[in-house]
């Protein structure tokens, strides 16, 4: 997909179409997740510190990511890809490999190009967004072709042309060549893919080791035999937050851990899963990162159980000096829960910690928030910055004005632009942050009534053998 997060925001917000948009963390430590092509003209790019992006493009719209929207669009795209082949390997929300041979959908360059053309049309019709397609005989070359096709294009690398096409490209083009490896190769006089091919395998093995050197030599000639691997079940679910300023108040730290635990369970339930190991991640003021985990007696999706486990794990972590990042995750995923067993296990652990032992345990005190007093909020918790309550770019609904999105907030006020996907650019209004008529809302679909592609790709060219029809309808 092309500049996926930013393009989705432009499609959702008519007033931002054709304008520079930057999506990422907006705090002092934030980084750019995606920049629209309009913002890229100013030099803004992914992974850039947000402060630097603001200096380069001060008039761009800076928005906090809306992953619920991005996931819903990604699901639509992946469903279309699954109709082309049973082998679809997602790399991220906006990128995937598809093995067309496994779907018997193409047997020559012309039919492959037609598949790519119709796929792009289908993606735009269903999501309202553009994507770029790369077609080649291997994963490495298809990836390169898709980058060459951006934005909103299609590129085919014909068999037999790989070597000539790769030769002038920089070594960073190849998978596994990061900044350090590229610098090492540069010092050895190799800056292009052709340099790697000419150096020979023995020299690359001497410089980089047998596995890495041999792999790069093969890739320099266009060889890549890695298979497309169908999507596997997620092994964990986690959430984390980086804070604008280090947290020093222990009560605030615990409050944030419990909030993250609730968000983690929401994701767990959305995926229809449960888990038995709770993991806590703490990055301290000095960038040292600690992880703690607790394996329970069975899988659960009970938010009270995950909160209590995460809070217990926090007790074993020294937060003196401040905390810059917190994360809560659940691993050991399953498709079922054992609620009674979990509640009993949590109760037993809490009871064992009491001075009088299990018989003096307050009823249900360890099973939920009910039965235990809430801690007094510290000064950091009491402030609750408006930026956290009303993130820039997120959806809201007003009882009178309808659906809109947050343009900014602060000093007790929140500014909202009222518009929807497909509408004309909307009006801007400002409210108190505690206005009872204003509340957070879920994202609206980018395409109100997407066309029905349930029978697609019946019209696509099939293999001459005719063997591809059943496989073309398989899911990944």
Cβ–Cβ under 8 Å, residues 281 and 325:
yes
Q: How far apart are the first and last CA of the chain?
A: 19
pLDDT over 60 (residue 355): no
What is the number of other CB atoms lying within 10 angstroms of the CB of residue 423?
Answer: 13
Determine the pLDDT at residue 162. Answer: 92
pLDDT above 70 (res 427)? yes
Closest CA to 64 of 36, 25, 93, 98: 25
User: Which pair of structure tokens corresponds to residue 302?
Assistant: 């009970």
Checking if the pLDDT of 196 tops 80, the result is: yes
For position 232, what pLDDT does the model report? 64
Q: Choose between 12 and 226: higher pLDDT.
A: 12
How do residues 287-330 score in pLDDT, each as one tens digit?
888 999 999 888 888 999 999 999 999 999 999 899 999 999 99
Per-residue pLDDT at 432 exceeds 90? yes
pLDDT of residue 340: 41
Asked if residue 352 has pLDDT above 60, the reply is no
* 67-82 helix and 109-127 helix, angle to the nearest 10 degrees: 150
95 is catalytic: yes
Q: Is 211 exposed, middle or buried (0-12, 13-18, 19+ CB in 10 A)?
A: exposed
* Closest C-alpha to 257, from 198, 323, 194: 323
Residue of 79, 95, 101, 240 marked active site: 95
How far, in Å, CA of 243 to CA of 257, rounded?
12
Sort strands 61-63 and 21-24 into parallel, antiparallel or unpaired: parallel
458-470 pLDDT per residue, tens = 766 554 433 333 3
Q: Are 396 and 406 in contact (CB under 8 A)?
A: yes
Q: What is the pLDDT of residues 205-255, one digit of tens each?
A: 999 998 889 999 999 999 998 899 886 667 789 999 888 889 999 999 999
pLDDT in tens, 77-133: 999 999 999 999 998 899 999 999 887 777 788 889 999 999 999 999 999 999 999
Check: CB of residue 113 under 8 Å from CB of residue 158.
no
d(CA 343, CA 364): 9
pLDDT tens for each residue of 15-33:
999 999 999 988 888 889 9
Q: Are 302 and 209 in contact (CB under 8 A)?
A: no
pLDDT of residue 455: 85
Tallying the residues shown for the chain, one arrives at: 476
Among the residue ranges 2-6, 188-192, 455-459, the one predicted with the least confidence is 455-459
List Cα–Cα distances, 359 to 309, 339, 346, 350, in angstroms.
21, 22, 15, 11
DSSP 313-351: HHHTS--TT-EEEEEEEEEEEES---HHHHHHHHHHHHH
Please give the helix or strand (H or E) that residue 127 lies within, else none.
helix 109-127
| pLDDT, position 385 | 54
pLDDT of residue 128: 96
Q: What is the mean pLDDT of residues 433-446?
A: 94
Is residue 471 very low, low, confident or very high in pLDDT (cuts 50, 70, 90)? very low
Residue 457: which of 8, 105, 27, 186 has the closest Cα? 105
Q: C-alpha angle with apex 442: 437 to 446, nearest 5 degrees?
A: 125
Q: Quick check: 249 and 321 in contact, CB under 8 A?
A: no
Res 387: pLDDT = 60
pTM over 0.85? The answer is: no
pLDDT in tens, 258-286: 999 999 999 888 878 889 999 999 999 88
Average pLDDT over residues 357-366: 32
Q: Rg of the chain's alpha carbons, rounded to an integer?
A: 26
Least confident span in 7-16, 109-118, 333-342: 333-342
Q: What is the pLDDT of residue 460?
A: 63
Q: How confident is the model at residue 475 (pLDDT cuts 50, 70, 90)?
A: very low
């Amino acid at each position: 997909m092309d500049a996926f997060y930013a393009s989705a925001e432009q499609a959702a917000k008519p007033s931002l179409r054709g304008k520079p948009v930057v999506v990422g963390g907006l705090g002092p430590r934030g980084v750019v997740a995606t920049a629209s092509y309009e913002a890229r003209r100013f030099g803004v790019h992914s992974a850039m510190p947000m402060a630097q992006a603001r200096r380069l493009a001060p008039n761009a719209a800076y928005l906090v990511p809306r992953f619920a929207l991005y996931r819903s669009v990604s699901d639509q795209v992946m469903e279309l890809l699954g109709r082309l082949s049973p082998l679809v390997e997602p790399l991220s929300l906006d990128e995937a490999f598809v093995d067309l041979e496994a779907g018997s959908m193409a047997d020559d360059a012309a039919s492959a190009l037609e598949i790519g053309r119709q796929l792009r049309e289908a993606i735009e019709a269903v999501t309202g967004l553009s994507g770029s397609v790369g077609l080649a005989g291997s994963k490495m070359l298809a990836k390169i072709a898709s980058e060459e096709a951006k934005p909103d294009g299609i590129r085919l690398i014909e068999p037999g042309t790989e070597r000539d096409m790769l030769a002038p490209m920089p070594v960073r083009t190849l998978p596994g060549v990061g900044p350090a490896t590229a610098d090492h190769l540069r010092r050895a006089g190799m800056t292009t893919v052709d340099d790697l091919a000419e150096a020979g395998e023995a020299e690359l093995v001497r410089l980089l080791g047998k596995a890495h050197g041999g792999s790069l030599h093969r890739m320099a000639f266009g060889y890549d035999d890695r298979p497309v691997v169908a999507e596997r079940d997620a092994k964990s679910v986690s959430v984390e937050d980086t804070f604008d300023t280090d947290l020093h108040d222990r009560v605030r730290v615990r409050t944030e851990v419990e909030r993250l635990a609730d968000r983690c369970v929401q994701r767990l339930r959305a995926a229809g899963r449960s888990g038995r190991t709770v993991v806590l991640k703490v990055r301290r003021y000095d960038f040292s990162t600690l992880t703690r985990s607790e394996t329970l007696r069975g899988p659960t999706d009970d938010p009270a159980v995950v909160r209590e486990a995460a809070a217990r794990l926090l007790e074993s972590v020294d937060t003196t000096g401040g905390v810059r990042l917190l994360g809560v995750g659940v691993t050991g995923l399953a498709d079922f829960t054992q609620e009674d067993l979990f509640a009993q296990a949590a109760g037993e652990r809490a009871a064992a910690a009491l001075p009088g032992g299990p018989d003096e345990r307050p009823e249900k005190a360890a099973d939920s928030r009910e039965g235990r007093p809430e801690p007094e909020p510290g000064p950091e918790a009491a402030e609750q910055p408006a930026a956290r309550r009303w993130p820039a770019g997120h959806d809201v609904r007003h009882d009178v004005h309808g659906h809109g999105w947050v343009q900014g907030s602060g000093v007790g006020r929140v500014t909202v632009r009222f518009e929807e996907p497909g509408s004309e650019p909307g009006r801007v209004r400002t409210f108190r942050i505690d206005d009872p008529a204003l509340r957070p809302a879920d994202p609206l679909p980018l395409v109100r009534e997407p066309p029905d592609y349930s029978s697609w790709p019946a019209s696509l060219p099939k293999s001459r053998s005719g063997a591809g029809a059943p496989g073309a309808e398989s899911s990944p």
